[in-house]
Amino acid sequence: MFKATVIVKRRPSIVDPQGKAVEQGAKLLGFNNVSQTRIGKYIEFFVNTDNKENAKQEVEEYSHKLLANPIMEDYEYTLEEVK
Amino acid sequence: MFKATVIVKRRPSIVDPQGKAVEQGAKLLGFNNVSQTRIGKYIEFFVNTDNKENAKQEVEEYSHKLLANPIMEDYEYTLEEVK
């Protein structure tokens, strides 16, 4: 079994309205040093296989088809074997 | 200046409906090995100060007040000095 961690981020060229909105709130609360807030996703799950190649393939397909929007997001992942 | 990376996750005891929904989609697409999908946030921003203690304090306050919901989420962060 593997534990997978996937990070999904918008491409740097694509505006992030959620980050902008949160940062606007921050300014109103007096956080004047904070800038360029960008909000992505941090996804964890388990892959029930003992073969690392199979696990990789499954994580990539899952990320590509369901976790990330390949039009405007990039993803990166790590795999860690667990008992 | 510091670059901050904050990861926000629901506490393990709290159900994650978004993760469950995505995983249901995964099952329909034939991903039978994937389980316990949980979706959190991955946030990046810059803190415009040269004092690491100030940066830490600002990141913690920002996370606590705006990025995470302290009732049901935990956060962790890293700070990296940038020019």
Option in B37, B43, B47 nearest A43 (CB): B37
Query: For strand A73-81 and strand A2-10, is the pairing parallel, antiparallel, or unpaired?
Result: antiparallel
| Cα–Cα distance measured from residue A34 to residue B43, given in angstroms and rounded to the nearest whole number | 12
Which of A47, A66, A75, A82 to probe by mutation at the B interface, max B CB count within 10 Å?
A66
Number of domains in chain B: 1
Judge: B58–A7 Cβ closer than 8 Å, yes or no.
no
User: In terms of residue numbers, what domain contains B39?
Assistant: 2-81
Looking at beta carbons, which residues of chain B come within 8 Å of A45?
A: 19, 23, 34-38
Whether residue A83 is predicted with pLDDT greater than 90 in this model: the reply is no
User: pLDDT below 50 — which residues of chain B?
Assistant: none
Instruction: Show Cβ contacts of residue A61 under 8 Å, excluding neighbours closer than 6 positions.
Output: B31
CATH number of the domain encompassing residue A73: 3.30.1280.10
Q: What is the pLDDT of residue B20?
A: 94
Whether residue A22 is predicted with pLDDT greater than 90 in this model: the reply is yes
Q: What is the pLDDT of residue B34?
A: 94
Q: Enter the DSSP assignment of B59.
A: H
Measured between its terminal Cα atoms, the distance across chain A in Å is 6
Sheet holding B2-10, edge to edge: A73-81, A2-10, A34-47, B34-47, B2-10, B73-81
| Cα–Cα distance measured from residue A23 to residue B12, given in angstroms and rounded to the nearest whole number | 27
Judge: A34–B22 Cβ closer than 8 Å, yes or no.
no
Option in B29, B39, B62 nearest A65 (CB): B29
Q: What is the pLDDT of residue B46?
A: 96
Question: A79 falls in which pLDDT band (50, 70, 90)?
Answer: very high
